[in-house]
Structure 1
Amino acid sequence: MSRKNKMGGMEVAKLRLPASLRRWPALRAAARGLAVVALLATSATVVRYATAAYTPPTSNIAITAHNLSKSGTKTVTATTETEICAFCHTPHSANTALGKPLWNRNSSGSTYTRYTSGSLDASNIVGGFNAQPAGSSLLCLSCHDGMVALGNVNVLRGQSASITLNNTNSGNMPTGVGAQTGFTRVIGTDLSNDHPISITYNSDLTTADNRGVAAAEELRRLDDSQRYPSGDPAAGSSSVIGMRSSGIKPLLPLEGTGKDGAGQVQCTTCHDPHITADKFLRLNRFQLAAPSTTGFDAENDQICLACHPKLGAAWASSAHANSVTADEVYTTEAAALRQFSVKGQVPAVWQVGCLNCHDTHSVQGSRRLLREGVNGDPLAISSGTAAGAAYQAGYASQTDNQVTSAVENTCFQCHRDAGTDSKGVKNALVAATGSTVPSIKSLFDLTYGMPIKTVDQANGTKEVHNIYTSDFLEDPVNLGQGNNANRHVECTDCHNPHRVRRGRTFVTTSSNTAGDDGALRTHTPGGKTGDLSTGNGNVASGVLRGSWGVEPTMPAITYTSWPSVPTGFDVKKGDPGSAAAPTTRAETLTATYLTREYQLCFKCHSNYANGPLATDFPALEYSGVNCTSRRCTPKTLANGMTRYTNVAAEFLSVTATDPPTTGTDQGEFANGTSNKGSACGGGDCEPRTTSGTAPDNGYNHRSWHPAVYPTGRDRAERKMASSGTINLMAPFAANIGIQTMYCSDCHGQESSWTAGSGPTAGTVQGPHGSSNPFLLRGVWDRCVTLDNVNQSTAAPGCQSGTQRRLCGTCHKPKTGNSNGGSGFNFNHVPDSDMSSIRCMVCHIAVPHGWKNKAFLVNMNCVGKEGGQTGDCVKAGGWGSALYAPPYYNGSMLLISSWARSGSWTDTSCGGGSMTSANC
């Protein structure tokens, strides 16, 4: 900008173009137009056309692949024909049926299968979606659908002709690597794997796609004249998107083929068949600088962002677009196969941008334009190209090669082990110095894994996953409510790849700079929600940013029965923008977006995706046509469980707050003046006066692992000494009573957690896969003992081997001293060593939350949760173990009287003779 002209009392900055660009008349006119626009803008409204410095592509068809004449330099050329334009145009006797001038070809007349998805809002708008392609798209398809010979033209020197061409597929479009691969431009008649065309792009569509949220801009907003940026560009200037008119040439032109002449997206919106640009694209195929967060930058931004800004800053800051985080580069072979090149160099992930995961003309069978998003054996691709095309498909070899959608295989292009796997499939990337892409595929390959493969899912034949918004929402019915055959999991059920960040919390700035918070791939456990400096509590990590989940609404807790079932759910969705992480329970409930890991888990592991009854939850499969060792737990290792449980109900059947408050289920009742805690706002936590379970002498209370609420039971409440050895290990030995934790602290692979310290630095966290049933970090069966070993590995229902036992990952119940806190006076060693006693003799088998303190069973008071008709019935006991899944698995403990923490004796459990005989 230079010099200021005074016009009508306003000072208007005059745009001065660089000398190298002044030769373009359109750009000089654009500069004048910007000055006019500035006159119309108020101080609060500035219209920015990010096109002034943009150099348009060169139009020279003679040196492109569309020169099919003998003089052409690409693969397909004529044997003798020297005319260049004749393959598409004729000055006389042109085909007028297609509505375009001088067209020299006929449409194949094919019926096309159109692209569709749960989030294609154009199909729900009147006139928004043509049943069949129209306009210029039909012209492109007359060659690219592979149905008509390339040399078949209507008129050549006054008569019809069929021009002979070299290197074709029997005269038709050559298939490249293979017609069924993603590396061909034989688009075919099945357009379900191609970017939608002949759809109306107007304000109705953008309002629908952005769900009416004024601040949202997943799809670029057009004004009522179908323009972006909004406003009337001056004659001779260029808007980014719009309809062509006299003197107005949008960079991405819409075509008036819609209802009442409405502008529609056609092939020529993105492609100009005459220009020399990569893929004939009107704008950049790759990202040349950091993505713009304030508008579209035609000089540097990828063409996709012109229409799909993905909330702007949310995408620009994501781990897949941030130039510091996404600095890995493609292997030479992978880049060559995908034709990825930026200024002659192999590009980095951030430069490839959208094309890392999507291809506007993707592989047959994939959905949502996902690159490589199909099952198939990569070595089945045509001979001579198998090594390169091995990137094509994932790891699931099936007979219907490359036709079954498999969303996870898009992610596995990069999120797999380095080198080549047993099928010849390679990781597409070379890691940058100091950073690596986490291998997720190897975790799903463990003995037990999330049922991410289609064959492992309840449907078994096709993916059910189908989001309907940019927040990746799915209807509860699609998650399994009312139809367990819909139950599924895909990568994008938990992660939003357009918003994820690398960092320990979702508010982290994505970066892998050494020492920066963004260099951490996971959370720091053991913290309290109100202070994220030393630990993150249960605050969602960076990889969960922008995903969605639910916050259950609980009824008034009934203490005569357990559990209580959530009565409603608040869906947490959207990108948090620049918001800080909520530090209190009230802030968590107010936030409209996902802030806690448990919210993500609860959308599937609650009655939100199932139903209120236990029988509404899916059965655990032990055998069956769709059951594999990855999906199903051997019946002997399932702790007697037959169905999944309502995890949200188990955790939330309490009265609690965060931070803890007295008068709830938090704290320890009547623990004496010398053992008052300080968890409740700096004061003692006194629980409510009754637990509702017999014998009710006031000392019992509900218990839970603090995935949602802290317990309020600090060291003083538990009668632990203020320092010294305790029965909790780091990182949970600090912030006792006020800390919260993650579901993934217990669920995940064993090697990603080090007992006594926590998550192993540099390893992937989360419940992707494990060597243990229920994706647990350690063995948890009815034979696990205090010594963290199995009592008898030969017993039914017990795992053999030397794997870590789950409880011993964080708990150390046998410390050999009297400083262990909860439990007997001498830490589970009252009269003799109890190290050989099975944990489930006294504790429940599913320790999320429970009606009694310390997850203790009580055979004197078993309710409906144990198969009884009443709420407090004597069932089983010493010498007569109760097996009533899912909670009772060889349970024998009889409580004679509930004791305060640290005050238990053998008489509390029936007397010395009974406990000594069994313990």
Structure 2
Amino acid sequence: MFRYIYAVFVFLVGVFPSSAQISNTPHNLSKTGTGTIKAFSETEICVFCHIPHNEREGAPLWNRKMPTTIYTLYNSEFISRIGYPDPVQPSEIEGQPGIVSRQCLSCHDGTVAIGAVYIVRGTELGNSIIQMQNVNPDGTMPSNSVGYIGTDLSVHHPVAVEYNPNIQKNFSQGAKTSELKRPFPDPPIKLYTYGGKQYVECTSCHDPHKENKKFLRVDVGNLAKDFKQTCISCHDKPGWTGSAHDTQTVVYTDPDVIQKYGEGSPVSVADLGCGNCHAPHRAGGTPLLRKFEEMTCFKGASSSTSTAPCHGTGGAKDIQSLLPPNNLYGHPITEASMAGIHSPLDFLYGFGSTETDPASGKTIKFSDSKHAECVDCHNPHSVKPGTHAPQNQWYPSVASPDGNNVSNPLIGIYGIEPVWGGLWTQPSQFQTLASATKEYQICMKCHSRWALGDSPNGDCTSSFVSDQDGTVLTDQSCEFSPNNKSAHPVVMPLNQMTGNYEPKSLSQDQLKPPWNSNPGNQTMYCSDCHGNDSETVNPKGPHGSQAKYMLKGPNKNWPADENGRLYKVGDIFGTSSDGGTTDGLFCVNCHNLENAEVHRFKGSGMMGGGMGGGGMGSRFADFPCVYCHVAVPHGSPVSRLIGYSNFPQPYNYNGNSLKLDGFVKNNFLRKWDAYSNSFTCRCHRMGGGMGGGNYDPNPYP
């Protein structure tokens, strides 16, 4: 008899880990428990889940009544778009996906009384339950309890979901994988096999018997470090190791974060890792973000921006205060009308794509899915420490062919590469990139035909206008095409532009450092021109500005000064009739305008007395820059960013500023109508005579 009793005791110890492991945890639901929810009189610990005989559906030796709930399941447009299996409804049948999670939910979903067990010491309770303290009148877990999950599983990490690291979505260049450890998670994470496939259950991450905060299987330090290591045991994010969110030592000052995650000790961004942005339970946004969209970036795990070492007002790298509405111009990250639209793979579905995946998903098109989010430009899993530009200058030092490569803050973000069309023609095709290598590939996801659609004029204009200043938005994949006659070298060095005429670049004396080094063989960033008001301090980048078009640098005005006066040719030399100067003129940040021969000719008083009195040169001095140059100086179908009178807005400033109808390099006046105060210009290379040289009218398409 003694041997029989001993054998039963050994069996129970083998099946149910020692109750000493849970006696000091909230899972001790007996009257001796230390948690708030516990029995009034029941002294057994294991009975709330297990029974050695006559067990019901569930394992091992399950004793609890199972919920019959139909749950709202986790849903992610991201996993749907890469073809990853959706979670399934947790089963009530042993041997099927979700059975283990439904066992956990028998307490945590709030539909079954905590004391609803089948048998206690050989007695079936029937409709009776063990009476508990601090529960709802029907015995269920209150919704304000720390462990309450509820029936909406969409805001919790998915369970009854397959673990499959082999699924991926192929792009034109590269692929997006499910980003899971191969072939299995790191120990001690546990998977469950059903029908030959591996699945995630609640107990994949949690051991309900373990004396550990949150019952996490991973136990490497405080809760912050356990949280981070639990996530990266399964999730293999490219570029994570050494990324900013993996290494930054700046700490939270929020006392709740310190107490909860640091257990009283300081908590840094590196300590919390994934937990800075993601919450496995009760997420505030998708996918499992702590807070809705950008507020996750601003607050992290904190309750306020000022106590978080993040990107909100008062944070370590404050970006929130740079964005509209705090600034007049900028990316509208916080705009309410754009809330809830974004998903990471929107960029796959622009103009030229024929479907979305899933069919109900959003796209990058302005026509139905216009949005701007932090993660459109930054990949929080791979972003590296550092800034977009050196500390001591307002533009990057990029006077080299590699100057448009992505910088540390932009590493790992999706992009597109246009398949370039003809002269001043919108590309008809785009390649989708799993990881952009050039900054412009990120910008053009939105600032091109891929998002803006076909031009109503058959050129580089779009049918959309800026919400901030009413300017017509333009297709930058059209403007920067290498087949155009001129463009700033954002896409490629000017000497490699196939549509450009010699000389393709300006001379060294027409440019300021660092651009006067090896001109024609340089590239540049979009953000060399567009950025925050002041980039002498961090963070840098085109987040927001008081300057129109987010122009940056010592001079931020174009084509007019802060009083609305158009800059004139004579401003360069102090010869304009109203005494204007180039103070504030954006172009002089990089260009020595006075060293351009045509400017010297037009700004001087030479040829005085002729052509209607007052001198042709002096009359030229009062010509605004936009009489000759396009007001959107990205590119032009004419050399030297010249524009013609038949150009549409916004290239033709206010629709009537451009005065030329022909141009040839280099610049020399051919016809001037002094009486109408306008002119027609046909120009040719210097030295060839009025009718000689390499003549090409540079017609507008």
> Secondary structure in 2 aligned to 1:152?
coil
Are 1:654 and 2:483 matched, yes or no? yes
> Secondary structure in 1 aligned to 2:598?
coil
> Secondary structure in 2 aligned to 1:316?
coil
Q: Note closer, same or farther for the CA distance 1:75–1:315 as it changes in structure 2 (3 Å cut).
A: same
Does the Cα contact within 8 Å between 1:503 and 1:522 map onto a contact in 2? no
Q: Which residue number in structure 1 is paired with residue 381 of structure 2? A: 498
Map 1:430-445 to 2 at 5 A: 437-444=316-323, 445=326
- The one of 636, 641, 647 aligned to 1:855: 641
Distance 1:132 1:503 in 2: 45
Structure 2 runs not aligned, ≥5 long: 1-16, 92-97, 351-355, 572-581, 606-616, 681-701
Q: Note closer, same or farther for the CA distance 1:153–1:440 as it changes in structure 2 (3 Å cut).
A: same
Q: Which residue number in structure 2 is paired with residue 194 of structure 1? A: 156
Does the Cα contact within 8 Å between 2:569 and 2:622 map onto a contact in 1? no
Q: Note closer, same or farther for the CA distance 1:334–1:474 as it changes in structure 2 (3 Å cut).
A: farther
Q: Note closer, same or farther for the CA distance 1:349–1:893 as it changes in structure 2 (3 Å cut).
A: closer
Q: Note closer, same or farther for the CA distance 1:210–1:896 as it changes in structure 2 (3 Å cut).
A: closer
Map 1:478-489 to 2 at 5 A: 480=363, 484-489=367-372
Are 1:317 and 2:178 matched, yes or no? no
- The one of 84, 89, 93 aligned to 2:50: 89
Q: Which residue number in structure 2 is paired with residue 302 of structure 1? A: 229
Distance 1:123 1:895 in 2: 52
Distance 1:277 1:599 in 2: 46
- The one of 66, 72, 79 aligned to 2:40: 79
- The one of 161, 164, 172 aligned to 2:140: 172
Question: Which whole-Å deviations, capped at 9, do the CAs of 1:355-400 have from their partners, x for residues lacking one?
Answer: 111111133x52111112x2xxxxxxxxxxxxxxxxxxxxxxxxxx
**Identity over the aligned pairs, expressed in percent?**
33
Map 1:305-704 to 2 at 5 A: 305-311=232-238, 314-322=239-247, 326-336=248-258, 339-341=260-262, 345-363=265-283, 365-372=284-291, 374=292, 407-413=293-299, 425-429=304-308, 437-444=316-323, 445-453=326-334, 455-457=336-338, 463-468=340-345, 474-476=348-350, 480=363, 484-503=367-386, 524-530=396-402, 537-555=403-421, 557-558=422-423, 563-574=424-435, 594-614=436-456, 619-620=463-464, 632-635=467-470, 638=471, 641=472, 644-652=473-481, 654=483, 702-704=485-487
Are 1:110 and 2:31 matched, yes or no? no
Does the Cα contact within 8 Å between 1:522 and 1:764 map onto a contact in 2? no
Q: Note closer, same or farther for the CA distance 1:414–1:64 as it changes in structure 2 (3 Å cut).
A: closer
Distance 2:334 2:152 in 1: 24
Distance 2:364 2:169 in 1: 26
Q: Note closer, same or farther for the CA distance 1:804–1:66 as it changes in structure 2 (3 Å cut).
A: farther
> Secondary structure in 1 aligned to 2:246?
coil
> Secondary structure in 1 aligned to 2:494?
coil
Distance 1:214 1:632 in 2: 34
Size of the alignment, in residue pairs? 605
Q: Note closer, same or farther for the CA distance 1:828–1:788 as it changes in structure 2 (3 Å cut).
A: closer
Q: Which residue number in structure 1 is paired with residue 112 of structure 2? A: 148
Letter in 2 for 1:569: F
Letter in 1 for 2:451: A
Does the Cα contact within 8 Å between 2:602 and 2:618 map onto a contact in 1? no
Distance 1:302 1:518 in 2: 33
Letter in 1 for 2:261: F
Q: Note closer, same or farther for the CA distance 1:263–1:548 as it changes in structure 2 (3 Å cut).
A: closer
Structure 1 residue 124: deviation in Å?
A: 4.6
Does the Cα contact within 8 Å between 1:287 and 1:353 map onto a contact in 2? no
Question: Which whole-Å deviations, capped at 9, do the CAs of 1:590-618 have from their partners, x for residues lacking one?
Answer: xxxx2211111112222223434348987
Q: Which residue number in structure 1 is paired with residue 89 of structure 2? A: 131
CA RMSD of aligned residues (A): 4.2
> Secondary structure in 2 aligned to 1:438?
coil
Distance 1:68 1:359 in 2: 26
Question: Which whole-Å deviations, capped at 9, do the CAs of 1:640-667 have from their partners, x for residues lacking one?
Answer: x3xx221110110526xxxxxxxxxxxx
Does the Cα contact within 8 Å between 2:639 and 2:664 map onto a contact in 1? no
Distance 1:439 1:519 in 2: 17
Q: Which residue number in structure 1 is paired with residue 627 of structure 2? A: 841
Question: Which whole-Å deviations, capped at 9, do the CAs of 1:51-95 have from their partners, x for residues lacking one?
Answer: xxxxx999710011111222222333333332222222233443x
Does the Cα contact within 8 Å between 1:286 and 1:351 map onto a contact in 2? no
Structure 1 residue 319: deviation in Å?
A: 1.1
Structure 1 residue 273: deviation in Å?
A: 0.5
Distance 1:573 1:172 in 2: 47
Does the Cα contact within 8 Å between 1:786 and 1:835 map onto a contact in 2? no
Q: Which residue number in structure 2 is paired with residue 736 of structure 1? A: 519
Q: Note closer, same or farther for the CA distance 1:523–1:67 as it changes in structure 2 (3 Å cut).
A: farther
Does the Cα contact within 8 Å between 1:70 and 1:80 map onto a contact in 2? yes
Distance 2:549 2:521 in 1: 27
TM-score calculated relative to the size of structure 2: 0.75
Distance 1:475 1:917 in 2: 46
Letter in 2 for 1:73: T
Distance 1:787 1:808 in 2: 13
Question: Which whole-Å deviations, capped at 9, do the CAs of 1:511-550 have from their partners, x for residues lacking one?
Answer: xxxxxx99899972441225xxxxxx22211111111211
Map 1:812-831 to 2 at 5 A: 813=593, 819-821=594-596, 823-826=598-601, 828-829=603-604, 831=617
Does the Cα contact within 8 Å between 1:408 and 1:490 map onto a contact in 2? yes
Q: Note closer, same or farther for the CA distance 1:720–1:543 as it changes in structure 2 (3 Å cut).
A: closer
Question: Which whole-Å deviations, capped at 9, do the CAs of 1:731-788 have from their partners, x for residues lacking one?
Answer: 4344433322211122222222xxxxxxx2x322222222244444434456453379
Letter in 2 for 1:705: H
Q: Note closer, same or farther for the CA distance 1:262–1:853 as it changes in structure 2 (3 Å cut).
A: closer
Structure 1 residue 836: deviation in Å?
A: 5.8
Q: Note closer, same or farther for the CA distance 1:845–1:526 as it changes in structure 2 (3 Å cut).
A: same
Structure 1 residue 425: deviation in Å?
A: 3.0
> Secondary structure in 2 aligned to 1:192?
helix
Distance 1:310 1:706 in 2: 33
Letter in 2 for 1:65: P
Question: Which whole-Å deviations, capped at 9, do the CAs of 1:703-742 have from their partners, x for residues lacking one?
Answer: 211211233499x96998866xx5x444434443332221
Structure 1 residue 217: deviation in Å?
A: 8.1
Distance 2:328 2:229 in 1: 41
Does the Cα contact within 8 Å between 2:493 and 2:522 map onto a contact in 1? yes
Structure 1 runs not aligned, ≥5 long: 1-55, 229-239, 242-250, 291-298, 375-406, 506-516, 531-536, 575-593, 622-630, 656-701, 753-759, 791-801, 814-818, 867-883
